[in-house]
Structure 1
Amino acid sequence: MDLEKLRQLLLDMHHSGRLADISPHLYDETREYLEKLKNDYYALANPLETRAGSLIIEEIGSIRDTTQEIFSIRTRQILDLAFQQFEGQYTDRDESRKMLPAERVMFRQIVGAIEECRRTLIFGDEAQGLGEAAGDEPVAGSMPAAPKEKRKRAASAGGVAAEYALVHITQDMDSFMGVDGRVYHLRQGDIITIPERNADVLCERNIALNIRLNK
């Protein structure tokens, strides 16, 4: 990946303001191109004393700076998406698809770290029960008691404990990623258990009704 292509990608990222769909090999190709430039530099008879050598060094520096800026922008965007998911807001599944595998791992880890910190600071939970499987009973004393019909604890793919609510979907809606890391494809008339934070958002927007079962 040469400097011109990297700069164009960076320009597009600044203009769009959203996570860009980049080649999964971008960083690998950039490292390979940097290695080629280094070999070209050392192949010169007197690299320190020639204009060609100076140009190569300048290009290497520019490529490294541009690549770092691309990484920084994407990381900030992924941080924003992670916080949106934690808050129970809509997260466009296309955004997740645009993440590179390593970025997707980072995303899940960030969401998990936020949840762990929240539980530790707000509930004094010290992350008890974050590794429980779906349907397991909560650890005694880990959180204040709550109505059974509204609270279920499950572990997401990222290891985040989530509370669930049973809802009735009142209108068709776009697919979204829940705070548990799952992508939900919901249509009018569906009755489904989804993370409580997502359920609250849908109910506030009159897209869903919370179903409270009498025990």
Structure 2
Amino acid sequence: MDTERLWEILYKERNTATLQELPRNFCAEVREYLKRLEEERREAERGETERGEAERENADERRRGLVEDELRNARMKVEDIIRRRVGKIVKLASSGVSVRTPSKGMLEEERAIFEGVKSHVEAGRERIFALISGAGGGEEEVKRGGKKREAAEVASPEVASPDPPTRDKKGKKDEEESEEESKEEFQVVRALEDLPTFMGIDGRIYKVKKEDVLTLPKTNAEILCNRGVAVRLRGRGRVERKGETETKTEK
């Protein structure tokens, strides 16, 4: 697992209504990736401590900053992937559609969420219909059903009944966020040295060599300039993002 692979997974989840099939060892791969970044950050911190004041102000400090940026971006991407997938699972389980076998794209942990939500929704639906039709003892049947649900909740407390659907509001919010993401302020910078591959806040992968002139999101441009690995050039504005590219480089 790396930054580029993580972004590919998130991009597919954002742009499809169905669950994407993840690698069977997805969780283990992400865990190892984050652990590796943590170790790199600690190594850079140790280098800063061991070097003298004059020596440490350059390489190790810049390296630590870049690793911290990648670690922060990776965690944000993982959280976004999980949030979107759980939302799809809850929607599928509570839709009322007869789905006996969960999607093959689900992880084992996600299947447990699906089964738990589905059983709660079906039990609740049956109690409501029983109350309306007066079948099975009316309110007494509802009380018995409530006791069964409480027992189920004790057995699996981590699975909660889904909130009432708010698809319209959520859909509108996602659309606004997508439009906001598509327009970001960019700045033109020149790299003063080779840089490790990193992911910008726009989700693009940047591979930068010394003397490259490229357009970066303002936040990333300011970070590089403040660390002394790039200088800002004239030329800034708002750039429409039409697709995914690895770098935007001009010679």
The alignment's TM-score, normalised by the length of structure 1, stands at: 0.52
1:127 aligns with 2:145: yes
Question: Does the C-alpha gap of structure 1 residues 120 and 90 become closer, same or farther in structure 2, counting only changes over 3 Å?
Answer: closer
Counterpart residue number, 1:103: 110
Q: Which runs of 5+ in 2 are unaligned?
A: 50-55, 132-141, 150-251
Counterpart residue number, 1:41: 41
d(CA) in 1 for partners of 2:111 and 2:76?
Answer: 23
d(CA) in 2 for partners of 1:61 and 1:104?
Answer: 28
Question: Does the C-alpha gap of structure 1 residues 121 and 91 become closer, same or farther in structure 2, counting only changes over 3 Å?
Answer: closer
| Largest Rg, 1 or 2 | 2
Deviations for 1:123-181, whole angstroms, at most 9, x for unmatched residues?
324426969xxxxxxxxxxxxxxxxxxxxxxxxxxxxxxxxxxxxxxxxxxxxxxxxxx
Aligned-pair CA distance for 1:12: 1.5
d(CA) in 2 for partners of 1:92 and 1:19?
Answer: 16
Aligned-pair CA distance for 1:83: 1.2
RMSD: 2.7
Q: Give the partner amino acid of 2:145.
A: A
Percent identical: 24
Q: Which runs of 5+ in 1 are unaligned?
A: 132-215
Runs of 4+ in structure 1 over 4 Å off: 119-122, 128-131
Counterpart residue number, 2:29: 29
Q: How does 1:12-91 map to 2 (within 5 A)?
A: 12-44=12-44, 45-46=47-48, 50-84=61-95, 87=96, 89-91=97-99
d(CA) in 2 for partners of 1:65 and 1:110?
Answer: 26
d(CA) in 1 for partners of 2:8 and 2:16?
Answer: 12
Q: Give the partner amino acid of 2:121.
A: I
d(CA) in 2 for partners of 1:73 and 1:37?
Answer: 24
Is residue 10–residue 81 contact of structure 2 (8 Å, CA) maintained in 1? yes
Counterpart residue number, 1:170: none
d(CA) in 2 for partners of 1:65 and 1:37?
Answer: 14
Structure 1 or 2: more helix by fraction: 2
Q: Which moved more, 1:119-128 or 1:11-20?
A: 119-128
d(CA) in 2 for partners of 1:96 and 1:126?
Answer: 32
Aligned-pair CA distance for 1:119: 4.8
Is residue 13–residue 19 contact of structure 2 (8 Å, CA) maintained in 1? yes
SS of equivalent residue, structure 2 residue 103: helix
Aligned length: 127
Question: Does the C-alpha gap of structure 1 residues 12 and 19 become closer, same or farther in structure 2, counting only changes over 3 Å?
Answer: same
